[in-house]
Structures are given as C-alpha cells and as structure tokens.
A and B are shown apart, each in its own frame.
Chain A
Amino acid sequence: MSGYVHSVTLDREKCQGCTNCIKRCPVEAIRVHDGKAKIIEERCIDCGECIRCCQNHAKIAVTDTLERISEFDYTIALPAPSFFGQFREEKDINKILHAFLLLGFDEVFEVALAAEVVSYVVSQYLATNEYKRPLISSACPAILRLLQMRFPDLLKQVAPILTPMEVAARLAKEGAAQKTGIPYDRIGAFFISPCPAKVTEVRQPLQIKKSAVDAVIGASTVYRDLVKQLSKLKGQDIVLQRATSRGIGWGYLTGESRAIGTPSTLSTGGIQNAIDIFEEIERGELQDIDFLEVQACTGGCVGGPLNIKNVFVARVNLKNMVTKYKTKDPYFSEDQLRKFDEEDQFRSTEVVEPRPIMALDDDVSKALVKMERIDAIAATLPGLDCGACGAPNCHALAEDIIRGVAFDTDCVIKLRERVKTLAEEILDLARKLPQTMADQKGTGHGQEEDISSA
C-alpha cells in the first residue's frame, strides 16, 4: 500500500544486521538484506517491539520535536496517562504539569481527563446498544492495525468511539480557542506519547478523517528537559491538575476496564496474548465478556517503547498516583458527561477497513500455485529457523523466494551445499580435462605420483 508512513524506522549506521529484531517482530515484518534490517512497511503495525529488543538502538521512532512549538500561535501539551508513571509519587502531577509550561507550552491538558469522558461514553454505549460481545477497545492503534491485517472479521466489534488522545486534543483546542480568541487551526496540540503507534495513528487515523492532534512527541524526548524544569520549580499556587484516578488509571492495564466499570471485562497486554484472545473470539468464545481491554504493550501503555522507566516500576508509580487522586471530585459533572455522550461528537466517523495483505496473490488459483511452490521450497530448506538468511524462519524465506525478494542461496546451509556440489564438479572437471593431453605432455595423475614418490 503506497503512502503508508510509519514511525518506526531504521538508523542504518547503527544497524549491525543481527537477527534479533527479525525473530522478535510479532508480524514478521522485518528482514535483513545486504547486512541491514529492512522493515516491510505494509506489514508493520508500529508496536515498537523491535525498538525494545535492538541492542544497537538502531530501531528508532520518528516523532516530532519541541521546535514545532514555533509553528503555532498557541500550544497545548497533552501528556498521556502513562507519562506520570515515569515519576515517583512525591513528584505530584500538578508539578509535572507546571514543568510543561516551562518547556514553552502555553497550556497543558491531561489526556487522563479525556479518558474519563471516553470511559463514560463507552459505558453508555455498553448499556444502551445492541453489540456483539465482547466490544473491543479502540484505544491502542497497534491493536487496530493488527486486527486489520489478521482479524478483519473482528473489526466490526471495535468500539466506534474515539481514543482519549483524540478527545483530549479536541477538548483542549476548543477550550483554548474560546478562551483566547485564537483561531482553532492556529492552536497546536502536542501529544506526549508512550509509543510510535500513536504517531502513525495521528498521521493516518483509522476511525476519523483527520486527527486534531498536531504533533506527537515521544515521552523519552521530553523527559530530560522536563526533569530539569521540575527541579527549578518552587510552589505552584495555580492548580492545573484536573484528572482523577478514573482517568489516570488508563495508563496501565486494567485501568481502562475499571474506569468503564462494566462488571464483565477482560484485560490483556502483549501482541501474542492479543492474538490468542482474538483467535478465541473469532471462534465465538468469550461471549460472556462485555468489554475487551487489549493493548499491544505488556502491562499496558506504561510498557510503551518510548517510556523511560521499567514497566513494573512505572506501574507502581502510577498506582500510587491513582490512590492519591482517588477521593478527588471529577472535573466534569455527570450532566456535562451526558451532554458529551448525547452530542455523539466522540464517535468514530470512518469504518476501519480490513487490510488483507497476507494474500500471496489476488487470484485464489494463482495463490494456490504459489503456496504449492512455497511448500516445495520449504521442504528443501534445513528447518533450522536460524535467521541467517535474513528471514525470521525457513518458511518465511520460502515465502520471500516466491514473492521474488530472496534466493534459496540466501540460506547458508543451501549455499554450502551448492558450493560443495560446485567444488566437486570442478574437481571432477579438473581430473577429466587433462586426460587427452596427458599422453602427449606426460603430466597425468599417475606420473605426478611417480615423481613425488621418486
């Protein structure tokens, strides 16, 4: 598919051409060619698994930088709920929010606050709609992309409701436009992101035509500058902090389910777990579950590849904050939440379409022929799944050969066999050729032996 731009890319300088990432990629989207890793764009779901496992730090997420602030008349930082897990509890959220202003933003809006709105909208949807169980969360864009590719049939079970990031951007920009009189499109919303998937989601949104988010900055990109500003901060009289534990908890797995409050939910993190559970749902199981919270990252967004702290440390930090803000009164009244819901403005407007890129050919009978050839080739490969060929396993190499992007001699074992056969042929020829001349010039094998033995 042309024009499918990804956030996850390769730093060619740093890539050593090892096989770590090709083996770890859950959708087999990476190959090593000419000693460098190459991401197959149409297959990548931006989960960031390769960023996590690359020891040479050659896999990077292309995100925006703070410089983009200058492009707008007014800017708003939108830190993800998981961002606060990067700090110890004593650093309270209000202080962290103030530090964003010192970085140059005019305003800061917690995505956690929007998560409370989304929680309400989803809970109303569950209560008042006929839907196929379980309703699948739309919050993780890497999961949506996985569904498009591998579970097209489950797309219709995805909640037709916008993500907290999107809702936050809209609420923040509308509020700022009203307050300042600055036109909406001169206001920049900067999402502070735990993951590359959100970058792709903003550039190519699936549930809506155009995202209200203007820039996505990786959590790790702002972290150091922010910590510096934090140490400079004294007391803050102005209270910027508005979210309660209902929204803050969205930063880790189970937080979303809890916030929605439906009794029968299932929460899962990690791509392999997601695949297992989607397979069960596709078979018609788990129909007693109302809502499926499903995230690409183990532990939820605190485990996002662009975060700094270990996922479990971040989880504890965030949990402490959830406890701290438990008794806080919600910022949006029940009436206001109901109004948001009734206006339907946070519903998705686009149908998420399948992307059946697994097919070997558009024509089934041609695909069948290719499949037969793949199986035939795979049968001749050694089955070591070593990855030295640059494909994640022998079968993937066979597929690549048929797709015309690899050769059987990419397999080191195959290559050795070929070299051996060739060498034997050469030896054979070497023995044969001189025979006719041997009688004339007297340089046959037998004579050599005679000389050496003399």
Chain B
Amino acid sequence: MIEPCVSSAEPRFQLDYPINESDFLAAGESASKTKKALQQLGLKPEVVKNSAIIVYEAAMNIVIHATSGRLKVIIVRDEVVIRAEDTGPGIPDIELAMQEGYSTAPHEIREMGFGAGMGLANMKHCSDELIVESEPGVGTILEARIHLGQKESPREIR
C-alpha cells in the first residue's frame, strides 16, 4: 500500500470527507465543497476544475464499487493531492480497470447513468500523476496529484 503522501511534509490545507455506503449524493457534495475551497485559495480555474472532477469520480467509485471510505484533499508544496481510501472488494486488474469503457457496474447502476467505465480514465486525464493500489478483498487506495502550476488550456478565440 502506498505511504500517505503527507508524512514527509506539513500539509497546508486539508479537506476530509467520509464516504458512506450507497450515499449517491456524497460525490456531488464533496466535489462542490472542494471546488469552493480551492477557488477561495485562488488556484487556477483548470486546477480547480480538475480537482473537482477527480473528487467526484473517486467518491462515486467508492459509492458504487466499494463499501465505504474516506476522501482527502490536501495541498502539499505545489500540488493538490487527492487521496481516496476504501474498504471493499478491491480491483484485481488495475491496468484493465484503467481502460476506457471497462466497467463491472451492475445493470441497475447503469440504469442510473453510471458505469460507462470512464471514471478512472477521466481521473488520469485530469491529473499530472495518478497512482492506484489495491488489494483484492481488502480495499483500494487512489492518489491523484495536480500541479498548482498546471497549464491552463488556451482560451478558444471566437
């Protein structure tokens, strides 16, 4: 399992959300709160947006695929670190899970509009670094890092 990233340096800021079983509202709420806090810190819109997406997807995965867990948003030095830990079935083949379109979400979850198999790929796309570690039958730890200086996508001219 990955060592908590924060042990090496003093975290300057920390948000901590418990994610309970079947709490489908938790993801939206934590994403929304994360966004507000990061906007108050004056981070770049791109960084704020990407952090909110990762928080949402990570929380949703805990709600849908695991039993329960915790989500932390931390700023260490020049990075936003989002760490999601859960107890649950774990991911047997992480490489496979990372692939776009791969999903084990059951029928009723797909009915709700989730389970497109895009979450992890999306998180990878939004972060500068994404580490997933998992022990089948125990749980999963996901850590995403976003550089505060992440480049803004150029404004489209119209």
Contact = CB atoms under 8 A, between A and B. Distances in A.
B40 A360 contact: yes
B31 A283 contact: yes
Given A153-B45, A279-B28, A283-B53, A371 B40 contact: yes
20 contacts: A152-B45, A153-B45, A284-B53, A351-B155, A351-B158, A356-B42, A356-B45, A358-B36, A359-B39, A359-B40, A359-B41, A360-B40, A360-B42, A362-B42, A364-B43, A364-B148, A367-B40, A371-B40, A371-B41, A372-B12
A356 to B, nearest CB: 7
B19 to A, nearest CB: 17
A151 B72 CA distance: 23
A361 B158 CA distance: 31
Given A351-B158, A372-B12, A279 B43 contact: no
B145 interface: no
Contacts of A360: 40-42
B56 interface: yes
A284 B53 CA distance: 8
Interface in B60-100: 75
A160 interface: yes
A206 B98 CA distance: 42
B37 interface: yes
Nearest to A285: B113
Contact of B35 (A279, A361, A368): A279
B158 to A, nearest CB: 5
Contacts of A330: none
Contact of B41 (A156, A282, A284, A364): A364
B133 interface: no
Contacts of B13: 368, 371-372
Contact of A282 (B52, B155, B156): B52
Interface string A47-81: 00000000000000000000000000000000000
Interface of B: 12-13, 28, 31-32, 35-37, 39-43, 45-46, 48-49, 52-53, 56-57, 75, 122, 148, 155-156, 158
A283 B40 contact: no
A309 interface: no
Contact of A361 (B36, B42, B49): B42
B42 A367 contact: yes
Contacts of A354: 45
Interface in A327-381: 348, 351, 354, 356, 358-365, 367-368, 371-372
Contacts of A371: 13, 37, 40-41
Contacts of A150: 39
A360 to B, nearest CB: 5
B155 A156 contact: yes
Given A283-B57, A371-B40, 4 more contacts: A153-B46, A284-B53, A363-B42, A367-B42
A152 B39 CA distance: 10
Interface string A259-288: 000000000000000001001001110000
Contacts of A282: 49, 52-53
B2 to A, nearest CB: 24
Interface in A205-257: none
A368 B158 CA distance: 36
A368 B49 contact: no
Contacts of B156: 156
Nearest to B37: A371
Given A153-B45, A282-B52, A364-B148, A160 B39 contact: no
B33 to A, nearest CB: 11
A368 B14 CA distance: 10
Contacts of B122: 284
A351 B46 CA distance: 18
